[in-house]
């Protein structure tokens, strides 16, 4: 396994005491929150994942309006632990800046036909059990985008980091998300209570685990391509 990205920047490694992923996924900040065409943003991203229909890249402050518009839906917040509701442009700014500065998450903005449709990433706060998370704008549900994006990030994570498993979760009332995880090879491991910011309370969550060995047996599901910058 490698701890160095294709662009030559050091990635965060679960067995390391240093975190340098922020330099790998560094934000290119515009002077103002203005609309910048997607090819410009794509060129600014140090790592880009491409699937059959999607492009996954680093979010920037130029994406704030799109992120806020997509995320400001209670149906999304009710199923995403750390997403507040309502979700404002200030929330989106904080999210993008925190992603770049803390280095605790590996985050990709998901695009289809050059338009942002959601976010997918890995939470590294538990080094021995990094967690897959994702959300899509409601208008993009039911088209297989979440599965396609999740598989690309799963491949990226197992290929770039020396880890033995990924974990994930879905509310017990969210069968669509459970189906996505199962199609990605995750196996059910139990039910836990987790607090959801938008709900202001804890709720039962189905927990899942994907081991490296299972991933290795399934990774012929269709390869994503990667471009280092």
Question: Phi then psi for 226, rounded to 5 degrees?
Answer: -130, 140
pLDDT of residue 27: 39
* Rounded Cα gap, residues 121 and 108, in angstroms: 6
Question: Phi then psi for 138, rounded to 5 degrees?
Answer: -55, -35
Edge-to-edge strand ranges of the sheet holding 225-228: 187-196, 201-211, 165-171, 131-136, 115-123, 105-112, 54-57, 47-50, 225-228
Burial class (CB in 10 A: 0-12, 13-18, 19+), 28: middle
**Helices (H) and strands (E) in the chain — how many of each?**
8, 9
CA atoms within 13 A on the CB side of 143: 13
Going from the C-alpha of 45 to that of each of 7, 48, 229, the distances in angstroms are 10, 7, 7
Q: Rounded to the nearest 10 degrees, what angle do helices 64-71 and 89-102 cross at?
A: 110
Q: Are 154 and 215 in contact (CB under 8 A)?
A: yes
Tens digit of pLDDT per residue, the chain (229 long)?
333 233 322 333 333 322 233 333 333 444 444 443 343 444 444 689 999 999 999 999 999 999 999 999 999 999 999 999 999 999 999 999 998 886 668 999 999 999 999 999 999 999 899 999 999 999 999 999 999 999 999 999 999 999 999 999 999 999 999 999 999 999 999 999 999 999 999 999 999 999 999 999 998 765 666 665 5
Burial 93-116 (b: 16+ CB within 10 A, else e): eebbeebbeebbbbbbbbbbeeeb
Q: Are 133 and 168 in contact (CB under 8 A)?
A: yes
Mark out the alpha helices in the chain (DSSP H runs).
21-24, 38-44, 64-71, 74-77, 89-102, 145-160, 175-183, 212-218
pLDDT of residue 105: 84
pTM score:
0.79
């Amino acid at each position: 396994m490698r701890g160095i990205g294709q662009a030559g920047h050091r990635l965060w490694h679960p067995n390391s005491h240093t975190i340098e992923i922020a330099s790998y996924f560094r934000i290119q900040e515009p002077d103002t929150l203005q609309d910048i065409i997607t090819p410009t943003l794509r060129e600014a991203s140090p790592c880009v994942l491409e699937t059959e229909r999607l492009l996954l890249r680093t979010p920037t402050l130029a994406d704030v309006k799109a992120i806020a518009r997509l995320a400001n839906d209670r149906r999304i917040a009710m199923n995403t632990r750390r997403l507040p509701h309502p979700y404002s442009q200030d929330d989106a700014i904080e999210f993008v800046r925190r992603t770049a500065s803390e280095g605790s998450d590996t985050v990709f903005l998901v695009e289809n036909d050059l338009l942002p449709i959601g976010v997918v990433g890995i939470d590294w706060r538990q080094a021995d059990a990094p967690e897959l998370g994702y959300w899509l704008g409601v208008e993009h549900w039911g088209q297989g985008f979440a599965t396609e994006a999740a598989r690309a990030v799963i491949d990226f994570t197992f290929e770039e980091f020396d880890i033995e498993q990924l974990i994930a979760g879905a509310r017990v009332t969210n069968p669509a998300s459970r189906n996505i995880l199962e199609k990605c090879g995750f196996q059910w491991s139990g039910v836990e209570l987790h607090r959801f910011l938008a709900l202001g309370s804890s709720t039962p969550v189905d927990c899942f685990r994907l081991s490296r060995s299972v991933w290795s047996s399934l990774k012929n599901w269709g390869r994503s391509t990667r471009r280092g910058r």
